[in-house]
Chain A
Amino acid sequence: MTATLGEPTPPPPTDLLGRELLFVTGKGGVGKTTVTAALAQLASQQGRRVLACDIDASGGLGSMFEAGPTGFTPTPVAPGISVMSMDTEASLREYLKLHLRIPLAGRIGPLAKAFDFVATAAPGVREILTVGKLCWEVKEGHFDLVVVDAPASGHVVSQLGAPQAINDLVKVGQIRTQTDWMLEILSDPGRTGVVAVTTPEEMPVSETIELTERIAEQTSAALAAVVVNRVLPELFTTREEEVFERLRTPELCGSIGEVVGGDVAPVLEAARLAVNMRRARAVHLRHLQERLDPRIAVLLVPYIFTRVGGLRSTRQVATSLGDELGL
């Protein structure tokens, strides 16, 4: 992908939630789980039945809805929203039951142990069981949208590329036949999309750019949107800044101080810091926008000063995303 600015004629980004499978990914610590929960929340507000899937099994996704621990079986956490935690072994068990009709008692024991070792060395075994389960849920249609709190950037490429990788490695066998319908779902940009979450900081942005390139090169899936989280507010324009700088001179600082009855310098200093942080981040944001295909929707979520985590954050981020999507 090259830097393209050109005349952007982006498709209306509202169809983001019209897809059936969304992989939400990004560097650790950028707010991936919050965005996943917020997208689920928004889609459910649009009347869609949503399954949100936690790949990490950290339980973080459930807590974004104030729900307790979640397991492999989808648990309703809010009207129209269910949450599940991925478990590759459970996925294997389900797969064997559904497709091979293998009676499990007595045989799954050694199989499960062996699985661990095969999966440790063999590429794509865990990944295919994860992606397979997600595609299966899409295929079965119990939900209108499956939104996935996917692993950090690099790993999601392995996951999305797993069906193809398996096709390359496994020449015969039942799995091979399964990967066809998975690829069908994954490679349809109208059905499957990747949502890259980032913050306007150097590392997350460069990782996001790299991710978008790797998704294009190594997977059949398409990037649907980029969410930029924790965008700091713009405090003032250049004209206002001139005034601001004059206020910071000792003379004016002094006259304001007399009116308010205290030292105004720290308050102005705080504003300076906020502006500098905002500016430094704006550079990264611009860099990101220049490097992205202009047809990709870039959704900005403001920094939330008040509270962090839980349903309250989910709702606030959902509202911001809804505004950005014109909902």
Chain B
Amino acid sequence: MITRPPEARSPSLDQLLASKEIAITCGPGGVGKTTIAAAAAAMAACHHGGRVLVLTIDPARRLADALGLKGIGNTEHRIPAEMFTDAGVTPRGELWAAMLDTRASWDALIERHAPDRRTKEQILANPLYQNLAGRFVQSHDYIAAERLFEIHATGNYDLIVVDTPPNRHALDFLDAPKRMAEFFSSRLLRWLIVPYRSRLVNLASRPFYQVADRVLGTQFLADIAEFFILFQSMHEGFVERADSVVRLLADRRTTFIVVSTLESSPLEEAELFADELVRRRLNLGAIVLNRTLPEYLRDNRARVVAQALGERADQIAEGLPTDPAITAPLLREVAESFFNFSLVARREAEQRDELASSPDVVTSAPVFADDISNLAGLLTIGETIWG
């Protein structure tokens, strides 16, 4: 494996975001995607200027507080300049934030595509639609991409940083628009609703309906059919829109930032995802390794010192003004802890080296003992990944 020192990498996140209009943070769950998205957006607002929007899905409460997002819904709002002043910086541009409200976004989408008022109301009232919009897990993915498209099309922002929904598979996000388009173009879908369109067809004559009817019951089938028929009326608009969303994701002005920690299982998923981005000819711009342990844990001299500290704890404690009965076990504890974390740090470094052949920006944010709870904290993280 050929490794390069991190400083040889080019370009930086700074340079990458200077040339992009859309940055999509993605990767496995629980690695701090939202924090990284917000930190990158805050840095861009500070240093690049213009109007920068961070579109988040489900931020932690403290992070939402850090962005002043409490109670903010689907509409974008500006982070007050005073929050930057409080953090001790004068931003060159504006930072905006919005939280994705799946239900409201779906309703807006129906509103846009429904051919008439009656269809719109029927869809909104259909029990299946209500489930689809409110609970259906995968709909998050499509709606996030759709909302991104909509906001980008307004031309209001220089840069939009999008946080993707937490998924079992990061790839769901990429597949969502295509799945949505396929769903609406499907011949099978039309075939499925034929008997409900034409009363001439004898339902009982078809084995499929016979089975479906026995299993699901007639009313449920009718609900499904109504839902599909109504959605059919929006077919063209939806397919066209989904295609546009796909094009936007592949646009040169769009970049993907894969976020991971250096733990083996998230990293494995992140690597698969990065490979998939390349395979699909999407722009993998950067890999951000979050919550990495500090370098000094891998320092060999420190290790020698820790070894001596543990082995000669009694002797050292005797020579100190502190209570030796407390100090000696304490020193052993400190040494033990160093070795524990040192091992994890070495494992992480090995994982990082394995990534090193990748041509993208690879940058790391250190582990912080505390959660990010204000803009200053966000900018501190931002500084570490920016340069």
Binary per-residue interface labels of chain B (194-215) against chain A in the complex, 1 for a CB within 8 Å, 0 otherwise: 0000000000000110011111
In the bound complex, how far is the Cα of B300 from the Cα of A182, in angstroms? 59
Binary per-residue interface labels of chain B (318-343) against chain A in the complex, 1 for a CB within 8 Å, 0 otherwise: 01111100110111011101101111
Q: How many residues of A contact B (CB 8 A)?
A: 75
In the bound complex, how far is the Cα of B29 from the Cα of A244, in angstroms? 36
Most buried by B among A58, A60, A120, A269: A120
Chain A binder among B40-48, B76-84, B274-282, B309-317: B309-317
Chain B residues near A1 (CB-CB < 8 A): none
Q: Are A262 and B304 in contact (CB under 8 A)?
A: yes
In the bound complex, how far is the Cα of B216 from the Cα of A170, in angstroms? 6
Chain B binder among A82-90, A139-147, A186-194, A276-284: A276-284
In the complex with contacts A100-B215, A123-B135, A244-B330, A262-B301 CB distance below 8 A: yes
Main secondary structure of the interface of A (DSSP, over half): helix
In the bound complex, how far is the Cα of B321 from the Cα of A58, in angstroms? 57
Please tell me which one of the listed residues A204, A266, A308 contacts residue B30 in the complex, with CB atoms under 8 A apart.
Answer: A204
In the complex with contacts A172-B218, A270-B297, A121-B128 CB distance below 8 A: yes
Q: Are A117 and B183 in contact (CB under 8 A)?
A: yes
Instruction: Give the nearest-CB partner of A33 in chain B.
Output: B265
Interface residues of B in 85-115 (CB under 8 A from A): none
Q: Are A155 and B137 in contact (CB under 8 A)?
A: yes
Please tell me which one of the listed residues A173, A243, A244 contacts residue B216 in the complex, with CB atoms under 8 A apart.
Answer: A173
Q: Are B131 and A239 in contact (CB under 8 A)?
A: no
Q: Are B216 and A117 in contact (CB under 8 A)?
A: no
Q: Are A123 and B29 in contact (CB under 8 A)?
A: no
Chain A residues near B60 (CB-CB < 8 A): 202-203, 206
The yes or no answer to A256 lying at the interface (CB within 8 A) is yes
Interface residues of A in 109-157 (CB under 8 A from B): 110-111, 113-114, 117-118, 120-124, 151-152, 154-155
Q: Are B371 and A259 in contact (CB under 8 A)?
A: no
Q: Chain A's nearest CB lies how many Å from the CB of B97?
A: 18
Binary per-residue interface labels of chain A (229-240) against chain B in the complex, 1 for a CB within 8 Å, 0 otherwise: 000010110011
Q: Are A202 and B128 in contact (CB under 8 A)?
A: no
Please tell me which one of the listed residues B207, B320, B330, B341 contacts residue A236 in the complex, with CB atoms under 8 A apart.
Answer: B330
In the complex with contacts A123-B136, A172-B218, A308-B263, A29-B302 CB distance below 8 A: no
Q: Are B29 and A28 in contact (CB under 8 A)?
A: yes
Binary per-residue interface labels of chain A (194-206) against chain B in the complex, 1 for a CB within 8 Å, 0 otherwise: 0000000111101
Please tell me which one of the listed residues B168, B218, B344 contacts residue A28 in the complex, with CB atoms under 8 A apart.
Answer: B168
Interface residues of A in 217-269 (CB under 8 A from B): 233, 235-236, 239-240, 243-244, 246-247, 252, 255-257, 259-264, 266-269
Q: Are A279 and B369 in contact (CB under 8 A)?
A: yes
Instruction: Give the nearest-CB partner of B260 in chain A.
Output: A29
In the bound complex, how far is the Cα of B218 from the Cα of A122, in angstroms? 14
The yes or no answer to A3 lying at the interface (CB within 8 A) is no
Q: Are B30 and A203 in contact (CB under 8 A)?
A: yes
In the bound complex, how far is the Cα of B172 from the Cα of A28, in angstroms? 14
Q: Are B132 and A121 in contact (CB under 8 A)?
A: yes
Q: Chain A's nearest CB lies how many Å from the CB of B228?
A: 7
Chain A residues near B224 (CB-CB < 8 A): 118, 121-122
In the bound complex, how far is the Cα of B334 from the Cα of A100, in angstroms? 66
In the bound complex, how far is the Cα of B132 from the Cα of A118, in angstroms? 12
Q: Are A240 and B326 in contact (CB under 8 A)?
A: yes
The yes or no answer to A102 lying at the interface (CB within 8 A) is yes
A/B interface sample: 24 pairs, CB < 8 A: A100-B211, A111-B208, A114-B188, A114-B208, A121-B228, A122-B131, A152-B29, A154-B137, A169-B220, A170-B219, A174-B214, A174-B215, A203-B60, A233-B337, A243-B323, A256-B316, A256-B320, A257-B305, A260-B305, A260-B308, A261-B304, A266-B302, A269-B294, A309-B265
- Which 8 pairs between the two chains have the least Cβ-Cβ distance? A28-B29, A29-B30, A173-B217, A276-B369, A123-B131, A260-B308, A266-B296, A262-B305
A residues bordering B, Cβ < 8 Å?
Answer: 27-30, 56, 58, 60, 96, 100, 102, 107, 110-111, 113-114, 117-118, 120-124, 151-152, 154-155, 158, 169-176, 201-204, 206, 233, 235-236, 239-240, 243-244, 246-247, 252, 255-257, 259-264, 266-271, 273-274, 276-277, 279-280, 305-306, 308-309
